[in-house]
Amino acid sequence: MKVEMKVDYYPGDPGEFVRVDESKCTGCGECAKFCTRNVWVQDGKIFRPKNLKACVECGACWNVCEFDAVIFEEPKGGTGVRFEYG
């Protein structure tokens, strides 16, 4: 059986709840390395959460960023990822 990332989302705009602080990002790429959903993409010298739509709000990027360049907030109420079965 092939692992398939079957993920559900609530309808509605979650907002830009993950952002990069451009002044702090060193381009080390740890955020992208630990992101299972490939949200973080290199853009010149820094990384940006370009695929935020795919985010499942695990918070790995925020935790591994040693430079405080990942801004990890919350999606708007009733939006974002929706897990079945918990």
Partner 1 sequence: MTEVEYDVIIVGAGCAGPAAAKKAAELGLKTLLLEKSRTPGEKNVSGTCLNMAALVDPDLHYLMKGPVEREITEMHSYMITPERTTMFRETPSEGLILLSIRRDHFDAWHTEEARKAGAEVRLATTVVDIIEENDAIKGVITDKGEKLRAKVIIDAAGVNSIVGRKAGLIPKRKGTDMILYVTVNVHLGEKLVTERFGNSIYYFLAPQTQYKTWPWAFPKKDVVTFGTGGYLDDNLFKDGINSVNDYMQNLLDLPVIKEKIKGGKIASWGLHLEFDEALERRTRDGLILTGEAGGFVIPFLGEGMVEAFLTGIYAAQTAAKAIEANDVSAAFLEEHFMEYYTGNVFLQSFRYVADFNKKSILSMPDEEIAAMMQNVCIGGGFISNAIHYNWMKGADEDDMSLVQEAKDFYEFIQPYRQVGSESVEIYKKMRAEK
Q: How far is the CB of 1 from partner 1 (least distance, A)?
A: 5
C-alpha R_g of the chain: 13
Measured at the CA of 64, the angle between CA 84 and CA 81, to 5 degrees, comes to 20
Size of the site for partner 1 (CB under 8 A): 38
The dihedral formed by the CA atoms of 44, 72, 4 and 51, expressed in degrees to the nearest 10 = -40
Q: Taking a C-beta distance cutoff of 8 angstroms, is the pair 20, 48 a contact?
A: yes
Contacts (CB under 8 A) with partner 1, residues 17-46: 33-34, 36-37
Q: With binding defined as CB under 8 A, does residue 13 bind partner 1?
A: no
Does position 3 bind partner 1 by CB under 8 A?
yes
Residues of this chain that interact with partner 1 (CB under 8 A) are 1-8, 10, 33-34, 36-37, 56-60, 62-66, 68, 72-78, 80-86
